[in-house]
Amino acid sequence: MEKRVLVVDDDPAVARVVQRALLQKECAVELAANGVEALEVLRQGFRGLVLMDVHMDTLDGWDTISIMVEESLIEGNLVVMLTGDLSPEPRMEGLKEYVLDYITKPFQPLALAELVESYFEDLHPGKPQS
Amino acid sequence: MKPRHLVIIGSSAGGPRILKELFSNIPRLKAGMVLVQHMPAFVNAPLTQSLNQVTGMNVMLASDGDVINEGTVHVIPSGLHCEIEQNQIIRLRGSEKVNFVCPAVDVTMKSIQSQRHLNLTGVILTGMGKDGAKGIAYMKSIGAQTLAQDEHTSIIYGMPQEAAKTGQIDFILPTNKIAEKLVEILPHWH
């Protein structure tokens, strides 16, 4: 099974660090600098794990997830938030069932990559059924 | 008559990671467990399967009418609320969101009734929002033991904090100690 990860972050330095760590785990990584770019990738058929920054100037993470839900782009995509906030905004409660995990910055890149790998092993619908 | 043991677990964002750690440390116990995890529907089966691989309990995705069995964890599927009829039968019905989610932990916990020879335990794990707080306070009022995850090990300290704020939580514990406590208070298979 191909481990496809979409990294959505408007900080190129963060995106590069995450990309490097994920490549060590043999993930196929795509980058998007904001929610608009992420939605384009998703509309083109991306299915995998989405690592989503919360605060982005052009369409933030929560608004992007709202649109993913509206357009049924959530189906088949595991969503993990990547953020500097210690806790999510209460107004985002309505989206909580679509978010599997919440990782706060700063993070250890290798630990993050291992977590992503474990999600592919445990939860992705494309994983082999035993 | 021997007592029956029923455990209701509520969990949300960050839950899959925490549940894997929790159930890795739980052998087959003589208790029926019901797990309400907020998640997209396509994760139902993989989560059930991955938990089944790490615990001594039998983990299965619940269907309407299932009887809660000792040694089994019944995972409630997305998109339906779970009420437990006569403390024994899983009823899946209704899709209107409660606390912004479906299934809601509160709905399941509030469906339990006080009963002789029934030992109840409620657990609230990591997650955003308030779901489960009213439910676990209700469970305490009918004699349940109540546990909530601590702030340090919660991925998001929302649901466990709201549960703790009710003043009705007996034990606020890190993930590994929650497993230890369940192993301590629930009978084992021999």
Helix (H, G, I), strand (E, B) or coil at A9: coil
* B190 found inside a domain: no
The count of structural domains within chain B is 1
* B188 found inside a domain: no
In this complex, do A97 and B12 lie within 8 Å of one another by their Cβ atoms?
yes
Helix (H, G, I), strand (E, B) or coil at A78: strand
Q: Which residue of A has its CA nearest to B127?
A: A96
Q: Specify the CATH number for the domain of residue A11.
A: 3.40.50.2300
Instruction: Note whether B10 and B169 are within 8 A (CB).
Output: no
In this complex, do B14 and A115 lie within 8 Å of one another by their Cβ atoms?
no
- The minimum CA-CA distance between A57 and chain B, rounded to whole Å, is 24
The count of structural domains within chain A is 1
* B189 found inside a domain: no
Q: Which domain holds residue A94?
A: 4-120
Across A4-8, A16-20, A60-64, least confident range: A60-64
Nearest to B123 by CA among B21, B33, B25: B33
- Tell me which residue has tokens 């000792």: B70
In this predicted model, what pLDDT tens digit does every residue of A34-79 receive, in sequence order? 999 999 999 999 999 999 998 888 888 989 999 999 999 999 999 9
* B63 found inside a domain: yes
User: What are the per-10-residue average pLDDT scores of chain B (190 residues)?
Assistant: 87 95 97 97 95 97 97 97 96 91 97 94 95 98 98 95 98 98 93
Instruction: Note whether B97 and B58 are within 8 A (CB).
Output: no
* A125 found inside a domain: no
Q: Which domain holds residue B28?
A: 4-183
* Per-residue 3-state assignment (H helix, E strand, C coil) for chain B: CCCEEEEEEEECCCHHHHHHHHHHCCCCECCEEEEEECCCHHHHHHHHHHHHCCCCCEEEECCCCCECCCCEEEECCCCCEEEEECCCEEEEECCCCECCECCCHHHHHHCCCCCCCEEEEEEECCECCCCCHHHHHHHHHCCCEEEEECCCCCCCECHHHHHHHCCCCCEEECHHHHHHHHHHHCCECC
* B56 found inside a domain: yes
In this complex, do A88 and B12 lie within 8 Å of one another by their Cβ atoms?
no
Which pLDDT belongs to residue A105? 85
* B142 found inside a domain: yes
**Phi, psi (rounded to 5 degrees) for B136:** -75, -30
Task: Give the pTM.
Answer: 0.94
Q: Specify the CATH number for the domain of residue B70.
A: 3.40.50.180
Residue B131 is among the residues annotated as catalytic for this protein: yes
Which of A102, A122, A129 comes nearest B156 by C-beta? Answer: A102
